[in-house]
Structure 1
């Protein structure tokens, strides 16, 4: 909530990188393939891709509400994120350049607009017999895609 994303070296208990934002940083994910990319969702309705080594902004995309949760697919080509009003977005990401493009928005079926607190992607689920995206909202709703 102090508008920073901090990277820690756990074994030594040292903060090794501080990335300063303009608003509270609400969720963060390392890219699963390119270790130099760090994706951060924030209260300013953005996902920002940072170069982990330099801390510089590579790209960003804007959403309708605060980005409260996110996950990458295993290839790093997609980011799934949830916002403060219960919407779930799919964002395409170029794994070489870090360029983002928003591709799909899905609102949960509930009339309540509860913030998404968890987004988790799996390549295979026995229940779905294929890829599955699980979301959880602050009001306790589970949604499978």
Structure 2
């Protein structure tokens, strides 16, 4: 099996993280505009507002987490780098994506079926963090 280039992983997560920040911060601006313009489709549905706010907040946080991963990827053991990288990318898409999709269609006070992506994304992101924390600590020479 060929080794993964840590520099390409760093670059991938740096670019993905900054674009995630741009997208999810823009979502926050759009949500503020919907609120300011008193758009009833947004304001009248508490479930939709909550789901979309959660998408904005989690997406922004995961964008920052990708940047942090990019800065520490060279400290992750080669064997775990590919797994942690993929899990973090999957989590960054599915967790906020599930919240957003869950708010597109709502049923009374229940989110739509897209919300089922949230736990999958959360487990993927958390797994990436745990793997990175564990193997980064093992590589410490201090």
| Normalised TM-score (structure 2) | 0.22
Could you say which structure has the higher strand fraction? 1
Largest Rg, 1 or 2: 2
| Normalised TM-score (structure 1) | 0.22
Could you say which structure has the higher helix fraction? 2
